[in-house]
Structures are given as C-alpha cells and as structure tokens.
Amino acid sequence: MLNTLKTRFATFLKKESHDPAKVVRSTLTFETLQAMAQVYDERKREVPIMPATIETMAWAYLQICQGEDPWTALGNFTNAWYGYAKHIRADLVSEPLTRPEQQTEHIHRWAAFCAASVEFLCDRYSIACPDWVNDPSFVLETPWWRTRQTDDPSVRRRLMHMTPAPFARRNIFCSNLLFQNKYEMYEWIQEALAQGMTTPAEIHRYARQKEISIHET
C-alpha cells in the first residue's frame, strides 16, 4: 500500500503546478501524508537536474515580452526558485530585466510585477536583493488592481489591506498568496511528522500556520 501511495505522489510531484492548498487537507489519512513526505524526502536527496535554460526572473520577463502568458512564465520561474535551482536563488534574480524599445502598458505592468516579486521573495527568504528592482520606472503611475472587480470599492479596500508591501509600493494591488507552492507544503509535512504529530488535523494546522507566517503576513 505504501509503495502504491509513493508511486502516486512521485508522479504528482512532477507536475509543474497545482493548487498547494490541496496538498494538505485534514481529511487525508496519516498514511497518505507520510507517503507524501517520504517521496519528497527521496526527491530532495537526488542531485537536481539543471535544464539547459535556467528559468531566471529575467528569462521569465523576456518570455512575457515575447507573448508568453505571464503566469506560465512566472510559474516556470517559481519552479526554479522552490525546486531545482533553490541552491542558487541569488543567481535567479541578479540579472536586470531587459525591456523592449517599444513598451506597452502590458509589458510595463509586468516589469513592475517582476521587480516587486523579486523584492518580496528576497525579503522572505533572506536573499540579498539586487539593486535593479529599485528603478523608479517600476512604480506604476496608475494603480493596477489585480482583480476582475476593479470598480468595487470593498474589493479595492481588501486588496489594499492584503497586498504585500513590495507590490503596493509599485502601485500594484493583488493577493498575498502569489507564491504559495507545493514544495514548501511537503517540507512542512515532513517537519510536522518529525515533531511527532500523528493526526492529519494537527499536521494540517501546522502546515497552515507555516504558510500564513511566510505568505500572508
């Protein structure tokens, strides 16, 4: 049974993205959570396979400029940051963005978003933040409300309250859950098990508190 679960989650880990909130649920069995933690531990022990192209933030922005969906490009960067290239995080953000000569509002907004993301991640993970993010051109003249309900005053108030400071300083107002990820969730499951937690409910609470401390404060 355990080997079956481990096989299932080894496949699950290979997926590029999924909702990390679904990784830990109080309805999951202890055996399932244990299998998830074991698979992740085994994967961590493997030597990371570096792709031919390291998906840095500068690379992600270039992809956006070339027409890639911004969330796909940033998702690939996130896989590098939390996954195969986490040991070289400073290198993932050191290169300044190369902006095109003809800059549309779309491209300008995402440049600001990338700069805010780098500042946010460097602060949360104690990485020296590169100076290029402080370019004043990354501060948008007009607020960018990352919601479909842009004209709803209550939604705007909620976003102003929850938006992480690096984004708000650049006039971007968005969710504070931008960088939730599966990698940390597996690590927190491991930590909970190592501390002797044996019920899914308490493991779920532990992981949720860790998530809040990093992504929602």
In this prediction, residue 68 has a pLDDT band, given cuts at 50, 70 and 90, of very high
The pLDDT of residue 110 is 98
For the chain, what is the radius of gyration of the CA atoms? 19
Mean pLDDT of 161-177: 93
DSSP conformation letters of 12-45 = HHTSS---GGGT--TTS-HHHHHHHHHHHHHHHH
Q: How far apart are CA 159 and CA 178, in angstroms?
A: 13
Tell me the per-residue pLDDT of 110-161, one tens digit each, with 9 for 90 and over. 999 999 999 999 999 999 999 999 999 999 999 999 888 888 888 889 899 9
In this prediction, residue 37 has a pLDDT band, given cuts at 50, 70 and 90, of confident
* 211 alpha carbon, distance to own chain's centre: 11
Burial class (CB in 10 A: 0-12, 13-18, 19+), 189: buried
CB atoms within 10 A of CB 212: 11
Report whether 213 contacts 203 (CB < 8 A): no
The percent of residues above 90 in pLDDT, for the chain, comes to: 47
* 34-43, 53-62, 97-106, 187-196: least confidently modelled range: 34-43
The pLDDT of residue 19 is 52
Residue with the larger pLDDT of the pair 28 and 153: 153
pTM of the model: 0.77
Q: How far apart are CA 207 and CA 209, in angstroms?
A: 5
Question: Which string of b and e fits 101-121 if b means at least 16 CB within 10 Å?
Answer: eeeeeebbbbbbbbbbbbbbb
